[in-house]
Amino acid sequence: MTDQLQRFIFDDYQIRGEIVQAHNSFHEIIKNHDYTTEVNNVMGELLIATSLLTATLKFEGKIAVQLQGDGPLNLAVINANQDLQLRGTARVEGETAGLTFKQLVGKGHLMITITPDNGERYQGVIAIEKDSLSECLEDYFEQSEQLATRIILHAGSRDKTLAAGLLLQTLPAADENHEEDFHHVCALASTIKEDELYSLERDELLYRLYHQEKVRLFEAQQISFKCSCSKERCLTSLASITQQEILGLLQERGAIDMHCEYCASDYHFEIDDLKILLDDQHHTQH
């Protein structure tokens, strides 16, 4: 089982596709958190969804796919960059056992934020009205880009750390004949069993679904977990508060402890660790 995403295209239809399978990256995202099965599975689906969206980025940058609502799963977010390095976190308040996707998130929104390294930030928001994340994403593409999209997402049902998904989408320039083709390709995709999506090799999976079609596969892309937190980044964020405030915190608690919500790393700073920062501030202030 590898953590990979593969794009493909039909030679005879104006339709593109992606298959993604994740295991290690999913495990890394959930391992330091005490999520219930229900929250765990949403994180897995969100990880797959974010990978599917990231694979189409045509520039260097970041993407965040976020669920926000008034349900016990207040917030769930996966961040990724163009190299398919991902991290994620969830904020849970209250009981989540036995709840459906919609009950978990409650009344809320799906938010997709794309931040190019060079260029304007783009944010798309859609109300969560459907019963599953995949249907919400299909709505998103329909509304924001007028692209017929079929998304299949699975996570956690076979093994706690297995997640997989499939995306089919008409190309932006598709002519009016594409609807029938799209329907045909989606009907075949719906025959795939959850277990097959987790475990079959991607070319085998595509052959099983589309052996009567001409399908071209692009080179597979690796998916991995990566958290961008570091001691240096903590110091940078501490540099944004005043010297007096830092000294105040040190006096109050004896040390400053910072915690990464994504990977659960802890960073501990005592006065000696902050000397440079305090001196720097001292110099810049005078």
Residues that bind Zn ion (CB under 5 A): 227, 229, 260, 262-263, 265
- Nearest in space to 17 (alpha carbons), one of 212, 164, 162, 215: 215
Helix (H) or strand (E) holding 188: helix 178-189
To Zn ion, the closest distance from the beta carbon of 86 in angstroms equals 12
Residue among 164 and 260 whose Cβ is closer to Zn ion: 260
To Zn ion, the closest distance from the beta carbon of 102 in angstroms equals 30
Percent helix / strand / coil, the chain, rounded to 5: 35, 30, 35
**Residue 88 identity (one-letter amino acid):** G
Residues in CB range of 225: below 8 A, 6 or more apart: 24, 25, 28, 29, 85, 86, 87
3 state SS of 168: strand
Question: Taken in order 203, 206, 211, 215, is the CA torsion positive or negative?
Answer: negative
Residue among 87 and 202 whose Cβ is closer to Zn ion: 87
